[in-house]
Structures are given as structure tokens and as C-alpha cells.
Amino acid sequence: MIFILCFSLNTKAQNLVSNGYFEIYDTCPNYPGQISRAVGWLKSSLTPDYYNSCPNINSVNGINVPYTQFGYQQDCCGGEGYAGIYVFYTDTVSDGREYIYTKLIDTLKAGHKYLASIYVSQCNDYNYAIATMGMLFTDTITVLPWPKGFIHANPQVKNTTLLADTVNWMLVQDTITATGNEVYLTIGNFNTNATSDTVRIYNTFQQDYGYYYVDGVSVYDVATLGIEQNKNKVDVSVYPNPNNGKMVIEYNLQSDAIMQITDVAGKLINEYNLSALNNKLEIHNNNLINGVYLYRIIDNNQILKTGKIVIMK
């Protein structure tokens, strides 16, 4: 499915990555190295993997979700597909690694700010965790001829803290300012082995690699997020975000309003009353499954504010 965040506003908040959750495929994968079967995604180098729950769960080729060739991992956001890439090889002198790329729905506009995000999870079948996962935006395709596997570039989004969680998905996110004409997004580790800020976490029988699952890729024009519909100013903060269904809503309202939480298709999940006499609401909803949800603040049939909530358990 293509995530389009639209609440009948004058401006729409749209994810510029058409298949950012790797749910859409043209052919079900049946062997590692088939990232091109995820619609819109291709390899920049070597053989990135595509995992999906569409194969038989007993497949010996290890491309099932959640039972992959490297162990057990659920989809980050309640879906059935994600990618996998090697990001660090200790046994190569050429800093070899894998990258995946996609073409954005629209070209980035010069001077506009964009919120770019991915979710990653370390595979514990390999020994190394890294810090420097990145997102590179370019105006041309970045593809390396076989068997080369290192892109010399400075990504606009680059994580700086160790990504060592093998159970939960970790968010890599930053706000960038576009120079204009960027239309391709490439994901991977753009640091050399010497500067990748790695830590040897495990001592498995596997070789000394770093491998990560990738899911939940999104790029939003900041100008289209959280737009106010009328003159009634409202400030809303949701934290923590992502959360496990337990969250706090802080707000400043001039009159009573309601908060609706929907799925990305617009189906109403929950509705809460927001009193102007208060400024905080605590929500404990254990029924929310992992995924992306949308909220909107409504007063007298007018949408005052919209936003996104990510549930990760």
C-alpha cells in the first residue's frame, strides 16, 4: 500500500517513498538477493535481500517474514515485508557493502525542509553493530558495477549512535534542507571500515560482518506536516513517539475538542475528548498493534492539527 496522509486539508502530507514499507512486490521472493522484487526498490551494489511473508513458512531459502535466513524478526510496523543489507565487512580491504535505492514520488524542492526516516534492526547472526547508517539523496542514480560495493558520499542523514538492538526496530531520522532536484534515495553505510564506528557485539560462527534489516522508509515535506486549518491556534505534543500504546498528549486549546486516531487508510481506531480546562491526556491502549497511525484534533468539524504516531512493541 502507498501511504498518503490526507485529512481534507489545503495541503497534503505525503510520503515521497512510494513503497517505503516494502509491502508491494511484483513477484514473491524465493531466494536471497532479490530486492528488485519489492516494487520501486533496486540494488546499488552486490545482492541486497528482500524478505516477505508471502512464501511458504517452511521455505528452506530463508526469505520468510518473520523467519529469515538470519533468524527471527517481525516487520517493523505490522506489515509483511522488509529489506536486508550488509553494511560492514571486516575481511575486505575495499570497504565492500550493500546499498538499496528508490526513486522518490516527487523531486525535492530547493530550500524545503524534509523529515527523512528509516527503521533498522541489527541481525544477531553476525558479529558487528555500527553507528553510521545513512540516507543519501541525489539527482542521479548511484549504482556501482559488479563487484564493487562502496559509495563514496556524505549522506544528508547519518546516524551517530550505536545501532545494536536485535529485538526492536531503531529509528534513524533527521531533518534535511534540499538543494533541489534530488529524486533518488540510497540507504546504507557510507563510511569506510575505519570510520564506521563499529562494536563487536557477538562471537558467532559467522564471519565478522554487520547486517541490518531495513523498513519503514519515509520522506515528508515538513511544510505539510501538522498544518493548522483555521485561526484557532493549537499546540499538540505526543510523547514518547514511537511508543508501545502508552503515550501522553499535551495540548493547548481555546475550547474543547476531540482527538481521533485512525489507521493510514482513514479508519477510525479511537476517539478521545480533550478539555480546554486541562492540558494533558494520558492514553493506555494495549490494542494498538505495531504500525503507523494518524491523529487529528477537531473542533466544531474543523481540523485544527494533524500528526503521526508510530507504535512499536
CA distance 254 to 53: 48
Whole-structure pTM value: 0.71
Model pLDDT for residues 249-308, shown as the tens digit of each residue: 999 888 899 999 987 656 788 999 999 899 999 999 888 888 788 888 888 767 788 888
Lowest mean pLDDT among 51-60, 141-150, 221-230: 221-230
How many CA atoms lie within 13 Å of 28's alpha carbon, on the beta-carbon side? 14
Average pLDDT for 213-230 = 75
Tell which residue, 253, 205, 251, has the closest CA to residue 233.
Answer: 253
Number of Cβ atoms within 10 Å of the Cβ of 50: 25
Q: Using one digit for the tens of pLDDT, what is the confidence trace for 27-68?
A: 999 889 999 999 999 999 999 999 999 866 556 678 989 888
- Contact between residue 187 and residue 117 where contact means Cβ atoms under 8 Å apart: no
Taken in order of first residue, the domains within the chain and their CATH numbers are 4-223 (2.60.120.260), 226-311 (2.60.40.380)
pLDDT of residue 77: 76
**For 80-162, where are the alpha helices, taking DSSP H only?**
none
What does each C-alpha distance from 175 to 158, 160, 163 come to in angstroms?
A: 11, 14, 19
**277, three cell numbers:** 480546562
Measured CA to CA, the distance from residue 157 to residue 176 in angstroms comes to 7
Tell me, what's the pLDDT at 231? Answer: 39
Query: Please, what is the end-to-end C-alpha distance for the chain in angstroms?
Result: 22
Residues in the chain: 313
Q: Is the pLDDT of residue 230 over 80?
A: no
Written as nine digits, the cell of 24 is: 508491494
Residue 171 — φ and ψ, nearest 5°? -90, 125
Give burial (CB, 10 Å; 0-12/13-18/19+) of 62. middle
pLDDT tens digit sequence for 18-33? 999 999 999 999 889 9
Rounded to 5°, the CA angle 238-241-245 comes to 90
